[in-house]
Amino acid sequence: MIGDIYNLILFEPLLNGLVFIYRFIPDLGVAIILLTIVIKIILYIPSRSSIRSQKKLQETQPKLQEIQKKYKNDKEELGRQMMKFYKENKVNPFSSCLPLLIQLPILIALYRVFLAVAQTDPATHILIIDQLEHLYAPLRDIFTTQPIHPTFIGLFDLSQKGNYLFAILAGAAQFWQTKMLMAKRPPKVPGAKDEGMTAGLNKQMTYFMPIITVFFGIQFPAGLTLYWLVSTLFSVAQQYYIFSKDKTKSQIVESHEVK
């Protein structure tokens, strides 16, 4: 039952979406890029809220560190004060987990999608019957005879693992995205006990996540790594847009207050 629901909600719509794009643009890499953009547009609103929450969490770190210093000997009161702080400042400490929680089931579904489109007859490159059954009727009729070639611009086999180029580019994009968020942090507050620990943890995450991205990018089919690369680049552009827009709004508010 769970498998059927998963197929109905995620796997089959993504598979049919990819195949539908491929029907008009017979390059699987380009089809993946376009499908990625569609997915990111659909997830724009929840991603926007998460990015703003993460940014605000970074900006409020100095005040949070002051609370941690003040109540360091009273763990129970520290917990209450931190919850109060989060509520008053409308900050969700778990906001950074939201994009991952949203992306994870999509990544799993896409992994199956890329495996599915790679399961073709070696001689004709036509999808095998087990995969054709997951296509909606109009597409099934077409791809019963139309082949699918798992290549990108004729150079990369997206069904194969070990694409170091895509993996390294995805890692670099992940590093760029993390650095952009860290750059939004305000000046440190001298004397905060946890300041060095927090800075060290942030620095570790800045380098740890790109390394993990490269590692897994090499292990997965190149099509999935290409999706992650394009998805991260879209997130970078989204962060830049949101930060610029929020900065402009803040400047307008400040100018009105001065007047």
Give the Cα separation of 238 and 55 in Å (integer): 13
Partners of 220 in the beta sheet? none
Q: Give the CA angle between residues 176, 180, 183 to the nearest 5°.
A: 135
**Which residue numbers in the chain have pLDDT < 50?**
184-199, 253
Give the Cα separation of 79 and 72 in Å (integer): 10
Partners of 151 in the beta sheet? 157
Residues 25-55: b if buried by 16+ CB within 10 A, e if exposed? eebbbebbbbbbeebbeebeeebeebbbbbb
In the chain, how many domains are there?
A: 1
Give the Cα separation of 126 and 144 in Å (integer): 7
Report the pLDDT value the prediction gives residue 32, as an integer from 0 to 100: 93
Partners of 157 in the beta sheet? 151
**Per-residue CA distances from 96 to 48, 58, 63, 83, 178 (Å):** 12, 11, 19, 17, 11
Neighbours of 235 (CB within 10 A): 21
Give the Cα separation of 151 and 161 in Å (integer): 13
Report the pLDDT value the prediction gives residue 195, as an integer from 0 to 100: 44
Q: How confident is the model over 129-168, as pLDDT tens digits?
A: 989 999 999 999 999 999 999 899 989 999 888 999 999 9
Neighbours of 239 (CB within 10 A): 21
Domain that holds residue 11: 2-258
Report the pLDDT value the prediction gives residue 208, as an integer from 0 to 100: 83
Give the Cα separation of 177 and 175 in Å (integer): 5
Report the pLDDT value the prediction gives residue 189, as an integer from 0 to 100: 44
| Contact by Cβ (8 Å): 195, 65 | yes
**Residues comprising the chain, all counted:** 259
pTM: 0.75
